[in-house]
Amino acid sequence: PRWATQRTPGRKTLGPQAAAAAASFGQPLMPWQQQVADVGLEVDEDGIPYYREVVVTVPRQQGKTTLILAFEIQRAVSQPGSRIAYAAQDGKAAREKLIIEQGPLLINPRYPVHHTVDRIMRGIGNESVTFLNGSRIFTLASTEDSGHGKVIDLGVIDESFAAEDDRLEGAMLPAMLTRPGAQIFNLSTAGTDKSPFLRSKVDTGRAAVAADKRSGVAYFEWIGHEDAPIDDPATWWSCMPALGRTVRIEEVEHALATMTEGKFRRTMLNQWTVS
């Protein structure tokens, strides 16, 4: 990554637990995902995370969903009774991700994780995954009062480039006030001039990395250099951490041939564009 919070020697990390969680649903972490987990899940002697917020920006199709699910399962299984809120661009997107994409992995008898799951609730407005130990993953609507009356131990904001304001974060933070070990996990591809919320997270994260801050916010950004030629495979290798693993170079070549330059820069190189 061009920007990355560094691992602090001597600190305990729950990163290996996240790796075990990913393996439990058949998708072992790639090196970039393990890097985020090892740093973002550093904890003190009482098990409290050093980073209340973990922000990751990376090109499309690099494995964000796997990393999200690894964080969610790690928290749900290791801390019984955890409340995990998942939010995406809107309620429909959150439902599709949790129930349609993640759900089948969690109840597939081929994977050990299914032994920890109680049931999946699919009813509109009640979408959630409940675990035998009392933990629960539920979708959170993108409204200011969506977190009212809830307690949240882990809040996930997926593809926050689509958020035009901080309503989701504003709904989560009050629900975390009584939970010293709570975290917000924010993952997205780069945005446009209509992505002020994510832009503020990028600016804050880059500043934290530049200042070598080792608490509060952990930040990671994979981005192609703006002056590098977009048709040069070396540019792709510089910012696509899943290239050569789960993404073939042929797919990137096809994207280059079919996408507009702006779309390719934002989705494939994680560069900011104008809408």
* Sign of torsion over alpha carbons 156, 31, 230, 259: negative
The first and second tokens of residue 104, run together, are: 């089948």
What integer pLDDT is reported at residue 142 of this predicted model? 63
- What is the pTM (predicted TM-score) of this model? 0.94
| H helix count then E strand count, the chain | 10, 11
Beta-strand relationship, 51-57 and 136-139: unpaired
What integer pLDDT is reported at residue 90 of this predicted model? 75
User: Tens place of pLDDT for every residue, the chain, 275 residues?
Assistant: 999 999 999 999 999 999 999 999 999 999 999 999 999 999 999 999 999 999 999 999 999 999 999 999 999 999 999 999 999 877 788 888 898 889 999 999 999 999 999 999 988 778 899 999 999 999 987 654 444 558 999 999 999 999 888 998 999 999 999 999 999 999 999 999 999 999 999 999 999 999 999 999 999 999 999 999 999 999 999 999 999 999 999 999 999 999 999 999 999 999 999 87
Q: Which residue has the tokens 């790639």?
A: 30
The first and second tokens of residue 211, run together, are: 């200042």
Question: Exposed, middle or buried: residue 149 (CB in 10 Å: 0-12, 13-18, 19+)?
Answer: exposed
E-assigned strand segments in the chain: 3-4, 12-13, 42-43, 51-57, 83-87, 117-121, 128-131, 136-139, 154-158, 183-188, 216-221
Query: Partners of 85 in the beta sheet?
Result: 138, 155
The first and second tokens of residue 122, run together, are: 């699919």
Are 32 and 61 in contact by the 8 Å Cβ rule? The answer is no
Q: Amino acid identity of 184?
A: I
Question: Three-class SS of residue 117?
Answer: strand
